């Protein structure tokens, strides 16, 4: 076994234990494909009638949407459908709040057992906090940080600039690669969320992936 494999196994195990201590359900997967197969088969079973999505490069980089669309019993609320009008996408964001299963990622998870996110409008963090019966978060190993301070630094100076670039927004961070605490309307940092415990226990299921799958 390589040193790198041993290192990541140790870090993922420590993260899993910390999250489970805080009542999150956690599963570990070696690849993104393995994680999406588990999600589609185990978390989107016959009892799930509708699935909503939050904006996520990790989810977008996967084959999850195709796997879920192959299940005829599921209603897919695809707010990332770029053929929809802004008004239609806004309404789908509202519908996601009452989906049976909400799928997204996290901007960071910590070795002290917290899940950290930062949204512009708050639709993703709202659904993670309350509404959908179940929440599934695809989280690559690159999201792990030691504590809340390091997690928030990751969000502001890595995840947010990369998402601004992904969305082709003219924010200062998309030009320099780090946060300027900008004040313009294109700013994507609006609503912080730190989930310290999953209530009810196990409602939020975190799929830890032993690969770098997003940002």
pLDDT tens profile 171-182: 999 999 999 999
Q: What is the CATH number of the domain that holds 139?
A: 3.40.50.10420
Q: Is residue 198 part of a domain?
A: yes
Structural contact between residues 120 and 171, judged by C-beta atoms closer than 8 angstroms: no
The reply to whether the predicted model has a pTM over 0.85 is yes
Q: How far is 174 from 87, CA to CA, in rounded Å?
A: 26
Q: Is residue 59 part of a domain?
A: yes
Condensed to tens digits (0 to 9), the pLDDT of residues 131-158 reads 999 999 999 999 999 999 999 999 999 9
Condensed to tens digits (0 to 9), the pLDDT of residues 11-53 reads 999 999 999 999 999 999 999 999 999 999 999 999 999 999 9
Question: Residue 201: CB partners within 8 Å, gap ≥ 6?
Answer: 23
Number of domains forming the structure of the chain? 1
Nearest to 98 by CA among 56, 137, 72, 133: 133
Q: Where are the alpha helices (DSSP H) in the chain?
A: 3-21, 32-38, 57-60, 64-69, 86-96, 123-129, 148-154, 160-166, 173-176
Q: Is residue 215 part of a domain?
A: no
Domain range enclosing 16: 3-209
């Amino acid at each position: 076994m390589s040193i790198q494999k041993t290192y990541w196994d140790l870090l993922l195990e420590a993260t899993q234990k910390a999250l489970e201590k805080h009542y999150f359900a956690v599963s570990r997967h070696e690849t993104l494909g393995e994680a999406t197969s588990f999600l589609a088969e185990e978390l989107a079973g016959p009892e799930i009638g509708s699935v909503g999505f939050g904006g996520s490069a990790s989810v977008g980089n996967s084959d999850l949407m195709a796997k879920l669309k192959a299940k005829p019993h599921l209603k897919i609320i695809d707010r990332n459908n770029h053929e929809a009008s802004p008004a239609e996408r806004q309404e789908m964001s509202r519908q996601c709040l009452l989906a049976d299963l909400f799928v997204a990622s996290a901007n960071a998870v910590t070795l002290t057992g917290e899940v950290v996110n930062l949204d512009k409008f708050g639709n993703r963090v709202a659904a993670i906090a309350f509404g959908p019966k179940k929440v599934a978060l695809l989280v690559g190993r690159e999201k792990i940080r030691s504590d809340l301070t390091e997690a928030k630094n990751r969000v502001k100076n890595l995840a947010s600039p990369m998402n601004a670039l992904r969305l082709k927004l003219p924010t200062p961070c998309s030009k320099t690669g780090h946060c300027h605490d900008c004040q313009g309307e294109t700013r994507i940092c609006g609503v912080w969320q730190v989930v310290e415990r999953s209530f009810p226990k196990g409602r939020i299921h975190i799929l830890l992936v032993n690969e770098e799958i997003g940002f």
